[in-house]
Amino acid sequence: MHDFALHRPRSLSEATAQFTSGGEAAYLAGGHTLIPAMKSRLRMPDALVDLSGLGLAGIARDADRLWIGAMTRHADVAAGAAAIPALACLAAGIGDAQVRNRGTLGGSVANNDPAADYPAAVLALDAVIETDRATHAADDFFQGMFATALADGEIITRIGFAIPQAAAYAKFRHPASRYAIVGVFVARFAGESTDAWRVAVTGAGPGVFRWTDAEAALAAGRDGPAMPADDLNSDIHAGADYRAHLCGVMLKQAVANLA
């Protein structure tokens, strides 16, 4: 592993100052992506800025949103997101106990792995992502594989999930990593337009995306449509056609679990 300096700031301003103090820097949240990348020398930052001392953990409901701090561990989301049971269940299915007790909500969302679970919840639950600089809408935040609307050095502070009438998440997981081969998050909100339904898919493509045809079908009371295999991932774990099939299967499972 490349030598690096470790900073432990106590404020957001101190964290950003250390991030921009010179050389390549990286923020450290749970570290489940960053540390393995550093061990294999895929990343060689000169400095790590540890965000654990900034007080960014916690869960609180405010009117129609559930706000969760960026440094909240997966295990704490699983135990504390009772206002949105589907979100709690999603968090409980991430990785294993070791991962859930170290990994963080903000780290996962900022990393935007194409097979991660949280981005599907953020998108389907019409979340807002607050940072030290701005507020981002979920529909504008995810911009492709490992890409987001975050500027260099921008820090997620908390995420506000809209509380739905009902929601469910169904995932066909990789048996070893437990990442989603395909995951579908379905949320129903009050209203009579197609916006009353939001459906997000993770694992199937190069990044999380809304399945608008499924949203329209659910709003009209129809069965879910077939997912086109075009532009879906094809790798050693599953081909594009199989992922397209799994999208339909996971959609049916999620809808069946809404009750």
Given this model, what pLDDT does residue 220 score?
Answer: 93
Find the DSSP H helices in 40-179.
Answer: 74-80, 85-92, 97-100, 105-111, 118-124, 138-141
What is the architecture of the domain spanning 59-162? 2-Layer Sandwich (3.30)
Residues 110-148: tens digit of each pLDDT: 999 999 999 999 999 999 999 999 999 999 999 999 999
- Cβ atoms 178, 116 nearer than 8 A: no
CATH number of 166-256: 3.30.390.50
For the chain, give every domain's residue range. Answer: 5-50, 59-162, 166-256
Q: What pLDDT does residue 162 have?
A: 97
User: What is the amino acid identity at position 131?
Assistant: T
The answer to whether domain 5-50 has CATH 3.40.50.300 is no
Counting DSSP H helices and E strands in the chain, the numbers are 10, 12
pTM over 0.85? The answer is yes
- pLDDT tens sequence across 163-216: 999 999 999 999 998 999 999 999 999 875 546 999 999 999 999 999 999 999
| Residue 190: per-residue pLDDT | 86
Give the model confidence (pLDDT) of 38-78 as tens digits. 999 989 999 999 999 999 999 999 999 999 999 999 999 99
Contact 215, 231 (CB under 8 A): no
Residue 66: helix, strand or coil by DSSP?
strand
β-sheet with 180-188: strand ranges across: 166-173, 180-188, 197-202, 209-210
